[in-house]
Amino acid sequence: MAIPAPSLRLLGVLVVTSLGSPSLDASEHWSYQPLRKNDPPKLAAHPVDGFINARLKARFLEATPEAPPRSLIRRVTFDLIGLPPSPSEITQFEESFAANPGAAWQTLVDRLLASPHYGERWGRHWLDLVRYADTAGDAADFPVPEAYKYRNYVLAAFNKDKPYNQFIREQIAGDLLPFENDEQRWEQTIATGYVAISRRIGVSPQNLPHITIEDTLDNLGKTFLGLTIGCARCHDHKFDEISAHDYYALYGFFESSIYPHPGAEHKPHREHFVYRMGRKQSDHLLKQHRAELETWNRKERAQFALYKSFQTRKITDASLSRESTWAELERIRAEQAQIAASFPGMEIAYALSEGTGHEAAIQKQGSPAKRDRGELAPRRFLTVLGGQILPADVKGSGREHLADWIASPENPLPARVMVNRLWQHHFGAGLVRTASDFGVRGTPPTHPELLDYLARRFMECGWSIKAMHRLIVTSAAYRRSSEDLAPNTAIDPENNFRWRANRRRLDAEQLRDSILSFSAQLDLSPGHRHPFPHHLTYFFRQHEPFQDIYPSKKRSVYLMQQRIQKSPWLDLFDGPDGNTPVEHRNESTTALQALYFMNSAFAHEQADAIATRALKGTADPSQRLQWLYETIFNRPPTAQDAAQAKAHLASVQNTLKQAEHRAWSGLIRGMISSNEFMYLD
């Protein structure tokens, strides 16, 4: 791996790139170089530990001991499926761990990876990256009822352990890839929802296609390549080896594709959604229905124009009023809804389709105006990563070639970027801390040899994500305790060299799903379409946008995610943002979070339901407390815990004259708002 010597220096624990050096050649940057073949140091039986221990030894750092079995099963269960282990699962694991630790751990890991809830957990990480949402993001934020199909495709891909290189290809060019049957063809078509969900803005996003393509390219670069290629939209990248010519060479692939139009204020009816049966047949079946609906659409437009004219005081007919015109408008819209409901049901995807292949013009300073367009940029891959040119005989967009170039084993970035993301979610920080920026402005890897070893193993294992999970979580580095060692903290306060486990707060989905599981109210069945109104009845505007919340007891990954309105629960606990790619969520600590657990309707409702379970389970207060501690904290109560709980319950019931159920409910609210529940050791 070629590294420009003048650009690197050792600062404590990190190799940091020195920016601005006149001798810096960006094409020589470490992340662009081929994967090195590194043999693990012979310091441990496990290859990951060989690399980790070599760094610890070189810096005189002592590793913490292995965490106790209860901490281990809680840690890995939340990590892999996002749900807490049950008391019976913990007991069973402790017994098997005492007999054969290695076999018990492997069995546990395999069981979790085989769970359908694994895909729900790790698919959510991917949805963060691709800024998934169920609405378009325009000024009226039109709903996209079919978006869930892409979400479910992602979750299923993780569960099936779809090879990552194929996962890349399908999301960029699934509609163009070969298939063995119609099921595979449709699945691959749905996969291009990755591109289709690119953000729209304004009241007329159909007139701003360059904004949507810019969002596509920005996300494609960060997600698959760990590169901020969007910085080359207006001019050559200031730091990385990416030119504006490179940018518009990629732009041409998507300008030659047809994005579906989800609707907007000035163009409310959808276009270019993909019908499973094909456009020709669907047009034939819908022709008469569309004609009937158009009659009412004309009435709706005329009535709405009449209603709006009251705002400019143009109405002279005394028999009309603002209220009466709105009532008539609602009657017309109700009739439209009935006609829309009569349309035959057909499978539809929010996906890409092929346009006419052509080259994009370089936009001077990012302006799409014709007067600001320069020379054409022939479609090709990034120069620094090979610069492969689209074959001359390609008639369509050429996205399948782009997908192959990105997912090629000769491209060192996708494997490096993905294994780093897996490491990040298991350890709390990646080997490269800037997980979506492997460029010159990003941070170099703390363990470059380990990163390349993992990336190479990833490809050798058939791009299997589950194989990489097994490799990482079976290491001693993963199973270390989170206890502090003062001498180590003085040398490596940020734990860059992984001498201990990082203590982490449960994220928004883990918190909500856990509490619902404690109350036995969590619906573990898969989620599907949200109860949006029929798409032919959308009348959303900039000042009257779509805004709704659909209550659900399903796992949080299935909650409707809107772009202009966030989920109150998920947002409070640093949940996903469907507007921008999120490589690493914040972990805030606020007074509002504590107040929510103590005072919100959700916290009271769930604490009451958990108390009901506890009281119905047994009449013995000590057994109730045992169940609560085993369920919420994944450990039995200590003598001190039991004494404090007994005193608290007696005090509340005697002093405040509250019923037994209410006293237990208050105790439970205290438990679910505690750090012991909210944090993983």
174-190 pLDDT, tens digit per residue, is: 999 999 999 999 999 99
Using CA atoms, how far residue 351 sits from 20, 262, 348, 621, in Å, is: 42, 11, 9, 56
Using CA atoms, how far residue 341 sits from 143, 212, 347, 536, 537, in Å, is: 17, 31, 15, 9, 10
Using CA atoms, how far residue 379 sits from 111, 275, 399, 412, 567, in Å, is: 45, 28, 10, 21, 40
Q: Which two tokens stand for residue 178?
A: 């070969």
Between CA 339 and CA 536 the distance in angstroms is 9
Please give the biggest Cα pair distance in the chain: 92
Q: How many other C-beta atoms are found inside a 10 Å radius of the C-beta of residue 101? A: 14
Sign of CA dihedral 626, 627, 629, 630: positive
Helix (H) or strand (E) holding 624: helix 621-628
Using CA atoms, how far residue 51 sits from 200, 262, 433, 598, in Å, is: 45, 49, 18, 45
Q: Which two tokens stand for residue 546?
A: 């779509």
Q: What is the mean pLDDT of residues 422-444?
A: 96
Q: Whose structure tokens read 């063809």?
A: 185
**Could you tell me which of 36, 47, 94, 86 has the C-alpha nearest to residue 70?**
94
SS3 222: helix
341-394 pLDDT, tens digit per residue, is: 888 888 999 999 999 999 999 998 888 888 888 899 999 999 999 999 999 999
Q: Provide the percentage of residues in the chain whose pLDDT is more than 90.
A: 77
Give the model's pLDDT for residue 555: 98
8 A C-beta contact, residue 183 and residue 197 = no
- pLDDT classification of 7: cutoffs 50, 70, 90: very low
Q: How many other C-beta atoms are found inside a 10 Å radius of the C-beta of residue 622? A: 12
Q: Which two tokens stand for residue 358?
A: 């052509």
**Residue 39 CB contacts under 8 Å (≥ 6 apart), including other chains:** none
8-state DSSP, 532: P
Regarding pTM above 0.85, the answer is yes
Between CA 571 and CA 590 the distance in angstroms is 12
Give the model's pLDDT for residue 231: 92
13-47 pLDDT, tens digit per residue, is: 333 333 333 334 677 899 999 999 999 999 999 99
Give the model's pLDDT for residue 229: 94
SS3 54: helix
Cα-flanking dihedrals φ and ψ of residue 325, to 5°? -70, -35
428-461 core/surface letters (b: 16 or more CB in 10 A; e: else): bbbbbbbbbbbbbebbbbbbbbbbbbbbbbbbee
Q: Which two tokens stand for residue 429?
A: 């920080």
Between CA 227 and CA 223 the distance in angstroms is 8
Give the model's pLDDT for residue 638: 96
What residues pair up with 267 in beta bridges, in sequence order?
264
Between CA 502 and CA 508 the distance in angstroms is 18
* Overall residue count recorded for the chain in this entry: 681
Q: What is the mean pLDDT of residues 195-210?
A: 95
Q: What's the distance, Cα to Cα, between the start and end of the chain in Å? A: 37
Give the model's pLDDT for residue 308: 78
8 A C-beta contact, residue 104 and residue 538 = no
- pLDDT classification of 545: cutoffs 50, 70, 90: very high
Using CA atoms, how far residue 176 sits from 184, 262, 355, in Å, is: 12, 22, 12
Between CA 69 and CA 635 the distance in angstroms is 11
* pLDDT over threshold 80, residue 10: no
- pLDDT classification of 2: cutoffs 50, 70, 90: very low
Residue type, 127: L
**Residue 33 CB contacts under 8 Å (≥ 6 apart), including other chains:** 1, 2, 412
Q: Provide the percentage of residues in the chain whose pLDDT is more than 70.
A: 95
**Residue 236 CB contacts under 8 Å (≥ 6 apart), including other chains:** 242, 243, 244
* pLDDT over threshold 90, residue 255: yes
8 A C-beta contact, residue 434 and residue 239 = no
8 A C-beta contact, residue 380 and residue 247 = no
**Residue 235 CB contacts under 8 Å (≥ 6 apart), including other chains:** 244, 365
Q: Which residue has the higher pLDDT, 163 or 570?
A: 163
Give the model's pLDDT for residue 619: 93
Between CA 671 and CA 665 the distance in angstroms is 10
Q: Which two tokens stand for residue 630?
A: 């085993």
* pLDDT over threshold 60, residue 9: no
- pLDDT classification of 253: cutoffs 50, 70, 90: very high
**Could you tell me which of 559, 565, 575 has the C-alpha nearest to residue 148?**
559
Q: Where do the DSSP E strands lie in 164-266?
A: 257-258
**Could you tell me which of 202, 206, 340 has the C-alpha nearest to residue 261?**
206
Burial of 388 per CB tally in 10 Å (0-12, 13-18, 19+)? middle
267-321 pLDDT, tens digit per residue, is: 988 999 999 998 888 888 888 888 888 888 888 888 888 887 786 666 667 777 8
What is the rounded (10 degree) CA torsion for 613, 618, 622, 624? Answer: -10
Which conformational region is residue 313 in: left (phi greater than 0), alpha (psi within -120 to 50 degrees), or beta?
left
Mean of per-residue pLDDT scores for the chain: 92
* pLDDT over threshold 90, residue 329: no
